[in-house]
Amino acid sequence: MLDDVADALRCPICAGPLTRHGQALRCPVGHSYDIAKQDYVTLLSGLAAPGDTGAMVAAREEFLGAGHYDWLAESVAEEAADVGRSPRRVVDAGSGTGFYLAAVLDRLGPAASGVALDSSAYALRRAARAHPRIGAVGADLWRPLPVADGAAALVLNVFAPRNCGEFRRILAPGGRLLTVTPTDRHLAELVDLLDLLTVDEAKERRLAETLGDCFFFQRRSLRDRTLRLDHDAVAALVRMGPSAWHAAPGALAARIAELPSEITVTASCYLTVWRPRHSQ
Ligand SMILES: [Zn+2]
């Protein structure tokens, strides 16, 4: 529910605190943001990139709903529970459908609540009902986030854009950032079979460079799994993936039809914990 997290939010125009007045959140100056009937609110000071399309989000829900990434959600929840103090307020920057954040909140227990930030209205509608203690908020991850200074004990960032300075600003002293990033082996078989654009091998190095200004590296663990996927699962995985994959030839369905009825694909990610430079 948005009510669980309203105290962590701030006005995207004047940075003032937001309080609920009926079906809107308002700041003291009078900026007002309507709460959608699906219980999410969009906190933007202007237009933002539209984010994932309805088709991408539906594919994501289909693939995640089939359980293929349950092990990864469990790993993220395990790591979140292990970051030191038990985090009460979690902000998931680029939450998608809320799949990972819901697993984290389940693990952290009833005192924990989570802000799901995403730019896609389709994703937010699902995130808002992914867990009773999630508040779903439309935001542009490239701009100042509509979250108050020091409001988060834990920032999650799973396969999503990173806004280093803002992540640091919204973390409380002693808070941590947990990132999930693909290794160069992630979905490699699928990339080969379907001639998709490859995962950038320099990505992990670039991540370290972009976060280094604001965060100290604390620890990293490799999590991987062999997925056994039928044609429907392969199609969903491709459709939910990086938008660049949509540039693959229109013959994608035909290519998938030529695959064996079940293929094995490696999922391989790093879970990395970062400590903000402003605190211990
Ligand atoms: Zn305001």
* Domain 2-276 grouped into CATH 3.40.109.10: no
CA end-to-end span of the chain: 32
Ligand 1 centroid, distance to 67 Cα (angstroms):
41
Q: Measure CA 124 to chain center.
A: 11
Ligand 1 centroid, distance to 148 Cα (angstroms):
12
* Domain ranges, ordered by start, for the chain: 2-276
Residue 114 has pLDDT above 80, yes or no: yes
Residue 76 has pLDDT above 50, yes or no: yes
What residues have CB less than 8 Å from 17, skipping those under 6 apart?
7, 9, 10, 11, 27, 28, 148
Ligand 1 centroid, distance to 262 Cα (angstroms):
53
Residue 112 has pLDDT above 50, yes or no: yes
pLDDT class of 243 with cuts at 50, 70, 90? low
Q: How high is the pLDDT of residue 211? A: 87
Note the pLDDT tens digit of each residue in 1-37: 898 999 999 999 999 999 999 999 999 999 999 999 9
Output the pTM of the full model.
0.93
Ligand 1 centroid, distance to 127 Cα (angstroms):
25
Ligand 1 centroid, distance to 140 Cα (angstroms):
17
Residue 161 has pLDDT above 70, yes or no: yes
Ligand 1 centroid, distance to 83 Cα (angstroms):
34
pLDDT class of 249 with cuts at 50, 70, 90? low
pLDDT class of 127 with cuts at 50, 70, 90? very high
Ligand 1 centroid, distance to 10 Cα (angstroms):
8
Average pLDDT value for the chain: 90
Ligand 1 centroid, distance to 112 Cα (angstroms):
27
Ligand 1 centroid, distance to 16 Cα (angstroms):
5
Q: How high is the pLDDT of residue 77? A: 97
Angle in degrees, CA 53, 34, 36, rounded to 5: 50
Note the pLDDT tens digit of each residue in 251-279: 778 888 899 999 999 999 999 999 999 75
Ligand 1 centroid, distance to 137 Cα (angstroms):
16
Ligand 1 centroid, distance to 254 Cα (angstroms):
51
- Indicate the helix (H) or strand (E) that contains 272: strand 263-276
